[in-house]
Amino acid sequence: MRTFSSYGTLNPRRHYYVQRTELINTGYAWLVGDDPEFGGHYLTVWAPRQTGKTWVMTQVKQKLESESQFDIVSLSLGFLEGYETPKAILQSLLGRIAEKLQKPLPDASLLDSEKYPDAFQQFFSKANLDRPLILILDEFDVLLPNAIQTILRVFRDIYLIRAGETIHYSEKSYLLHGVAVVGIRGVLGANSETGSPFNTQRSLHVPNLTHSEVDSMFHWYEQESGQIVEQSVIDRIYSETQGQPGLVGWLGELLTQDYNPDPNISIQLEHCERMLIDAVNTLGNNTITNLISKVARSPYREVVLELFQTQEKVPFKFDQAEQNFLYLNGVIDVDRMEGLHRNIKFANPVIQKRLFNYFSEALFTESGQIFAPFEDWSDTITENHLNIGRLIQRYEAYLHTNHTWIFAEAPRRRDLRLPEAIFHFNLYAYLTRIFQKFGGAVLPEFPTGNGKIDLLIRYANALYGLELKSFSTIPSYHEAISQAARYGQQLGLQHITLVFFVESINTENRTKYEVNPVEKTTGVQVDIFFVATGE
């Protein structure tokens, strides 16, 4: 029986997969060309990591191998990572291609000289090749940027020369019929100050899986295993991953193996929720570890921290270098739900939650004294009850007591003020440590994929919801009340807590605005509390 695959290239005999026929046919058609007499296309194949680029191009290669008029060379360039000069990279790459085609290398003296790009280009000439060649280069962006630029300039030059020749394609000066370079970033020229030298041809984007494609994978599992996966489980996995293939495979693997209680009963939503808690908090995943390593350093850290703020959405600009990097590495995506506006959202809830957890722990490894010796907490937490209002008051007092040192190492904006998200991370870290002591769990939720954040507390068989905001204006205050009430209704709660962070608040305004209105439309009571940050 097949299994879900969580990392690496899919094996169709061993793993569940989606055929992605349209993508494969498009890649095939572009490489062969609309009319082979005029040559194929030179294209880039791009997508964030673990989205299925290699799988798609492997299927394209297999389809191309049925075309007897072409030679096909497909290489993964991971072996070139770490090479220190463009010359060394081109020499090694050319050696691998020549070996695959069983062709001699160009003149050694030329290959070793400063004219090594000319030697690379001459290899693809009619004088050296027997048949038209289609070249597929995976992991292209592991190469040095200078090597990427050099190789793409050679390919572009060959393409332009071929395009200007009206003779039969087999008689043209160069027999490099089609090229696919596969990667995430450098292939598109994002690192080049002069733009991409490979702008003559087409770009094949490999998107996430659709809901129906994710659905089909789990129904395939049902057919082979005989075990039912409830539709609410499939919907939840799609919602949490937004169809990111690597994460779908990982959660599918966890759910059907490690969190599968009994193959004779259906996989239910409660099994999925338990799995998701661990996937977000305690389990390792190579894709997510890779993302965290990228956003943990400047300038990407500052951009991600800004995305966690709740007051304003951040416009998406593909040409903005930091946003481009985060987009092509699968950290962020485009929110197209607001008419003509295009804003940033996180790529999916799993990644957003993992990043939130990471920053909370990384920024607040030390919490100071939360529990004073012999302190009585019975006014806040008992065996069967949780007083959220008193808990928020305790946090505010903790914040004031520790403000001087607890934010000393926290990143700041250009105006030296703390980003809004810093306080959200700190509250989450504070609550997490409390409920580690008393039992229970604190779970971050991000209903919209951008700045909106809620903390769900599960304690003594009850669910408590906290929606976090930064106070800005009175109209936004009233709007936040309505939003919180609707979210409380979605959770099936009669009460929900709305926490506003504000620099300072006097007694008069606290009395006036720290109230407990019942929202008319939903009937949900919104308990409002302000936390003065002292900034």
Helix (H/G/I), strand (E/B), else coil: 459: strand
Backbone torsion region of residue 331, taken as left when φ is above 0, otherwise alpha when ψ lies between -120 and 50, otherwise beta: alpha
Instruction: Find the mean pLDDT for residues 503-517.
Output: 94
215-247: pLDDT as tens digits: 999 999 999 999 999 999 999 999 999 999 999
* Residue 199: closest CA among 143, 159, 161: 159
Amino acid identity, position 525 = Q
355 against 338, higher pLDDT: 355
65-84: pLDDT as tens digits: 987 789 999 999 999 988 88
Residue 506 has what pLDDT? Answer: 94
Residue 281 has what pLDDT? Answer: 86
Give the pLDDT band of residue 334 (cuts 50, 70, 90).
Answer: confident
Residue 354 has what pLDDT? Answer: 93
Give the pLDDT band of residue 287 (cuts 50, 70, 90).
Answer: confident
83 against 195, higher pLDDT: 83
| Mean model confidence pLDDT for the chain | 88
Return the structure tokens found at 190.
């994002």
Return the structure tokens found at 419.
């980003």
What Å distances lie between residue 166 and 38, 95, 161, 217, CA to CA? 8, 31, 10, 47
Give, as one character, the DSSP assignment of residue 105: -
pLDDT at 321 over 70: yes
The CATH number assigned to the domain with range 21-205 reads 3.40.50.300
Give the pLDDT band of residue 4 (cuts 50, 70, 90).
Answer: very high
C-beta separation of 283 from 274 below 8 A: no
Instruction: Find the mean pLDDT for residues 412-425.
Output: 84
Residues in the chain: 535
Q: Is the pTM of this model over 0.95?
A: no
